[in-house]
Every structure is written in structure tokens, then in C-alpha cells.
Amino acid sequence: MKAEFYKGNRQRLYAKLPAGSMVAFFSGRVVLKTNDEFFPFFADRSFVYLTGLDTCVEAVLLAAKDADGSVDERIYILPPDPFKERWTGTRVKPPEAEAISGCSDIRFIEAFQGDFRKLALCGNYGSLYLDLYKVNDWDADRQAHEFLKYVQAYMPFIQIGNANALIRELRLIKQPCEIEALKYGEKITGEGILAMMRASHPGMYEYQYKAEFDRALQQYKAYPYGFPPIISAGRNNFCIHYYSYTGQAQDGDMILNDVGVSWDNLITDVSRGWPCNGRFTDRQRILYECALATSDHLFEIVKPGMRMEDVDKTIHAYCGVQLMDAGLIQDLSEERQIMWHNGAHHIGFDVHDVVATPEIIGPNMAFCIDVGVYYEAWGIGFRIEDNCLTTEDGCINLSAGIPRTIEDIESVMND
């Protein structure tokens, strides 16, 4: 992504701010793993969406919008520290931060609190917008939550606004450069899935499948993963989020994978299932055709104007009819016994993207169409998950080039 992308994102954010307000986004800190070992740093995705600075630990974007609508913005980063940089790598310097973000005012983090205090006390700004979102109430506080406590303790006259709601609106519609990044990410994801398909055979361990996926990805600058790969065989397919990689594929088992890469910070999310021996059994074929017909139907009908909630409802209803016609359920009310999870979520800077979930679908939205089938009585579980991009009058399947029909999968595996 070019600096113009990040600068444009900030300008669209500022346009949503009321005059006389401030906004702050924090990149986050490294998280302790054990003793003196830390998890690899992973910057807050909304901070990255606004700045492009995905390696800057403890960085802050601070902006203040005046009564006349003008905005003063600055980014705070850690200062150079030759000793620490020996251990943890070179820090981004101000000229680099400016080139990446398009922000001309780069300061060191030591100035942040004092600068904010001056803005808060000058009388021109009555509110501060922070991203205080948590998945669960008991989740650990992030930098924004800690800063909120400081503001409430020393500047209780400052009103707090919801920056999370603003950023969700921005991230919903994908821009042309984001769409191009997704398309290239699908290519890389496809290479990883093809590598697993071609290597697949009975007796192969799940960690060996993962090694094939890793090797394919490492030919590109596609690390880190978009999310931890889900790769499983046989009975392990009935754990929806499975990360152990310890099982061994037995002859007749289905292989399930749910994988994606991060390219230019845009994350793909694709699922494919195949028989480890390269040939679908009659039972596998019945279930697979039910799921594939459902996926194909969705790509035929999804378009702007459709209700977003109807994507998931249609996946369950349509596949339920397929399962009933195949004699696997007796009534549509039973489809949840086989289809265990919902079938649509947005993708972008997060694999489950932080967006304002729309009531009505519009152009340039990107979300998954995910058809999962888990029939324990036959020991068969898999999902077909593709990435849908809406257009002006329909949609396209961004991951259509990754083998998804029975004929194409068997051809790849037996070529």
C-alpha cells in the first residue's frame, strides 16, 4: 500500500469527527508469553489501517479537529535506542514513518502525554474518541483502556466518543488497492492449498500438510499467516478451530483446511476439503455436492441490495434442502445437526474484519461464503469457503481459481 492509502483513510476518519474533538489510536505493546519471552508483536489492525506502521511498538496516532474543520495530526513512535535495537531489531525512524504513513509530523513517544495534556486543557476540544472495543468484558485492557483511566482521572471534563464505530464504517468498503491485495493473496493461498493437495496421501500427518503449505507460502513475502492455519484429517475435522497438527490421515479420510495469508495487510480466508487418497467415495461425493451446490447458488444470487443477514440464512436453507433431498435429514429443522456454524463474515485487515455489519449489501464489500458440513455418522466433515467481492450488479468469487469441484480436485491430486 502507498502512503496515499493510509493518508486517505485518516482523512475519511477526520471527516466523521465533530469539530472540537480529538482522536487517538494505539499500536499496542508486546505481550509477555512466559518468564522473559514475549509473543511476536502484532500491531492493532485499525492503527495499521490508518498509518501503515505495522512494526511500531507503543506508537500512537493523535489528531485534533478544530472548530473550522482543520485537523492537526501527529504520530508518536519509539526513539532510536542502539542497545535495545541489537536485541529486537531496528526501529522505524521518523523519515521512514513519514514515508510509510504520509503524516509529516512524527514525534517521539515521550512527548505524547504532554502534548495531549496541552490540547485537552486549551479549551478548544471537548471530546476524545478512543477505540475501547473488547470481545469480552473480561479481556485484558489495551493501551486505549489504560489511557482512558488517565483521562478520566485528570481531565474528567473531556467527553469520550466511540472511535470503534467510526473505524468500522471505514473498513466496510474495500478500496481498489485493497481489492488488488486480496486478489494477489488468493493466488498465494491457492499455491499453498495446491501444494497440500498434490502431496496428500494416506498415512500423511497433519503437520506434514502444514509443512507443504508453509513451503509454498515462503516462496512469497506472505508471512505472517493471515491467521493460524486450520489443517485436520478424519475425526479431527469435527473440531471447527483445530490447531494441533498431530493427527494422521487414514485411507478414506477427508482433509479439511481453513487457511489464508496476509498480503499488504489484507487477509484471505479459504477452506477446501478433499479425500486424502485423491478419490471421493460415494458418501463423500454426496455431501460435497450438497455443499458445492449451495456455494455456487450463493455466488449466483449475492448482489447489492440483498440483506446481509440473508446470506447466512440462505446458505443454511439451501443446503438444508440439498441434505434433505439426499436423505440425510428428514426435515429442514434438522440442518443445524450437520451445519454447525454461520456461513458469512467480512474479511479485510482482520480475518473476521472489524466492520459496521451492513443491513443491506453494497458494492465493494468482501466477505466469506462458508458452507460447512459435518456428518459425524459417516465420519465426514469439511467446508467449502470462498471469498466474495460484491460488484455494482452482482459478485465475483475471488478464490474461484483454487480447485473446488470434485473433478478439478481429483484431477489435481491424480495428475
Q: What's residue 222's pLDDT?
A: 59
Helix or strand holding residue 156 (H, E): none
Structural domain tally of the chain? Answer: 2
Cβ atoms of residues 210 and 88 within 8 Å: no
- Number of neighbours of residue 35 by Cβ within 10 angstroms: 6
Question: Both 218 and 90 in a single domain?
Answer: no
pLDDT in tens, 10-55: 999 999 999 999 999 999 999 999 999 999 999 999 999 999 999 9
CB neighbour class for 331 (10 Å; exposed up to 12, middle 13-18, buried from 19): exposed
CB neighbour class for 81 (10 Å; exposed up to 12, middle 13-18, buried from 19): exposed
Cβ atoms of residues 213 and 237 within 8 Å: no
Q: What percent of the chain has pLDDT over 90?
A: 98
Beta bridge partners of 395: 390
Question: Both 51 and 185 in a single domain?
Answer: no
Beta bridge partners of 65: 21, 71
The C-alpha cell of 326 is what?
439426499
pLDDT in tens, 108-133: 999 999 999 999 999 999 999 999 99
Question: Both 153 and 191 in a single domain?
Answer: no
Q: What percent of the chain has pLDDT over 70?
A: 100
Question: Both 14 and 105 in a single domain?
Answer: yes
Give me the DSSP letters along 96-125.
HHHHHH--S-EEEGGGHHHHHHHHHHSSS-
Q: What is the dihedral of CA 183, 185, 188, 194, to 10 degrees?
A: -70
Helix or strand holding residue 230 (H, E): strand 230-233
Q: Where are the beta strands (DSSP E) in 43-101?
A: 60-65, 71-77
Question: Both 238 and 343 in a single domain?
Answer: yes
pLDDT in tens, 164-195: 999 999 999 999 999 999 999 999 999 999 99
CATH assignment at residue 294: 3.90.230.10
What range defines the domain where residue 217 resides? Answer: 173-414
Q: What's residue 207's pLDDT?
A: 98
Return the DSSP state at 21.
E
Give me the DSSP letters along 320-386.
HHHHHHTTS-SSGGGGGGT--S----B-SSSSS------SB--TT-EEEEEEEEEEGGGTEEEEEEE
pTM given for the model: 0.95
Question: Both 158 and 252 in a single domain?
Answer: no
Question: Both 157 and 179 in a single domain?
Answer: no
Q: What's residue 50's pLDDT?
A: 98
Please tell me the distance from the alpha carbon of residue 408 to that of residue 36, in angstroms, as a whole number.
49
Cα dihedral sign, 286-288-291-294: negative
Mean pLDDT of 253-259: 98
Please tell me the distance from the alpha carbon of residue 17 to that of residue 11, in angstroms, as a whole number.
10
CATH assignment at residue 85: 3.40.350.10
Long-range contacts of 104-108 (CB under 8 A, 24+ apart): 105/72, 105/73, 105/74, 105/75, 106/74, 106/75, 106/76, 106/77, 107/74, 107/75, 107/76, 107/77, 108/76, 108/77, 108/78, 108/79
Q: What's residue 415's pLDDT?
A: 87
pLDDT in tens, 68-124: 999 999 999 999 999 999 999 999 999 999 999 999 999 999 999 999 999 999 999
Q: What's residue 224's pLDDT?
A: 72
Question: Both 297 and 404 in a single domain?
Answer: yes
> How many residues are there in the chain?
415
Question: Both 223 and 234 in a single domain?
Answer: yes
Q: Which residues contact 218 (CB under 8 A, 6 or more apart)?
A: none
Residue type at 92 in one-letter notation: V
Query: Which of 150, 171, 192 is the endpoint of a domain?
Result: 171
Question: Both 108 and 197 in a single domain?
Answer: no
Query: Which of 171, 186, 211 is the endpoint of a domain?
Result: 171
Question: Both 160 and 177 in a single domain?
Answer: no
Question: Both 75 and 223 in a single domain?
Answer: no
Query: Which of 171, 190, 219 is the endpoint of a domain?
Result: 171
> Is the pLDDT at 223 greater than 70, yes or no?
no
Count helices and strands (H / E) in the chain: 12, 16
